[in-house]
Structure 1
Amino acid sequence: MNPAVEMTLELYVSQQLEEALTVQYERIKDRRVRDTFVKRLENQIETLLKDCIDWDLKEPTEAQLSYATLVAKQVGISLPSEARKYRFHAAMFLEGNPPTG
């Protein structure tokens, strides 16, 4: 996360999960258990966040990126960095630069 951005989200969890998390919290006081748990949690949260963000903020699909790269070569320009990062910008690049031939 960007250190300049402070973000807190309150999420509802069931009573059963809340109780299990309380037990898990006790277990993660052990450094080895904590490191393993944190790594597992990071991987799961990253996957969930990627799935939850709006479509335009997601990375371009492999097909979209491959096609945009081909089109950029055909029209003799480099693919803008934003088009390599975000699906929306890749779509806008393709819309504004139809393939030749």
Structure 2
Amino acid sequence: MPIVARHLMILGRVQGVFYRNWTVDTARSLGLAGWVRNRMDGSVEAFVQGNADAVARFITLAQDGPPAAKVARIDASDVAEEALGSFEKRPTA
């Protein structure tokens, strides 16, 4: 199965609702590498990389996120792979 990488901008009620921690837990459970961070505009940004099926599954799950989240949309784009070993939470940008 090929390795793919996606850059995600997650919009809606996604800050202050445990979204980043949920993202880390979910991505790790799917065996993905990458990172997630809040953006100053209220969105959440993520980079996910791994098996194509696992990345697709992550994006599907991210449309709901944790119970208190209300995702309006996810803008996803293909990006180049990065040398990452795990999935981490990064500081707000």
TM-score, normalised to structure 2, is 0.28
TM-score, normalised to structure 1, is 0.26
Q: Which has the higher contact order (CA 8 A, sep 6+)?
A: 2
**Which of the two has higher C-alpha Rg?**
1
Q: Larger strand proportion, structure 1 or 2?
A: 2
Q: Larger helix proportion, structure 1 or 2?
A: 1
